[in-house]
C-alpha cells in the first residue's frame, strides 16, 4: 500500500486562515485543527477553574486568561487555545505571532 500524503502548512498560512475565517484553529507542527465547541459541563468546569485560580493568584500578581488567549510553544512549533492560561510575569508574545503568548506557567 502507498503512503497517504498529508499537507503541511506554514505558520503564516495558519495565521492567514485564522484571520480570514475568524475561527480558532490550533497549529501542530504544520497540521491545522479547528477548535470544536464544548459541552455545558466542560464550560462550567473551565469557568470554575478560572475563578479558583484567579482567587488564589490575584495577590501574587498573576493573570488568569480564558480560552480566547493563544499560547505558542516555539520549541515544538505548536499553538494552542487552552481552556485556562496563567501568566505570572509580563506577558511575552511570539515573534511569529503577536497575539500568542509564550510564557504561561
What value does the mean pLDDT of the chain take?
92
Residue 1: its pLDDT value, please? 53
Residue 37: its pLDDT value, please? 79
Rounded to an integer, what distance in angstroms lies between the CA atom of residue 24 and that of residue 67? 10
Segment 46-85, tens digit of pLDDT: 999 999 999 999 889 999 999 999 999 999 999 999 999 9
Domains observed in the chain: 11-101 (3.90.1570.10)
The conformation of residue 99, written as its DSSP 8-state character, comes to: T
DSSP assignment of 76-94 equals: GTEEE--S-EEE-SS--B-
Rounded to an integer, what distance in angstroms lies between the CA atom of residue 2 and that of residue 73? 33
**Over residues 87-103, mean pLDDT:** 96
Amino acid at each position: 500500500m502507498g503512503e497517504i500524503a498529508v499537507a503541511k502548512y506554514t505558520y503564516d498560512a495558519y495565521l492567514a486562515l485564522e484571520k480570514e475565517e475568524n475561527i480558532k484553529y490550533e497549529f501542530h507542527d504544520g497540521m491545522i485543527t479547528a477548535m470544536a465547541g464544548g459541552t455545558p459541563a466542560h464550560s462550567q468546569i473551565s469557568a470554575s477553574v478560572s475563578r479558583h485560580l484567579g482567587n488564589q493568584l490575584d495577590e501574587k500578581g498573576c493573570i488568569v486568561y480564558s480560552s480566547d488567549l493563544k499560547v505558542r510553544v516555539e520549541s515544538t512549533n505548536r499553538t494552542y487555545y487552552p481552556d485556562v492560561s496563567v501568566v505570572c510575569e509580563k506577558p511575552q508574545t511570539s515573534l511569529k505571532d503577536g497575539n500568542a503568548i509564550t510564557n504561561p506557567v
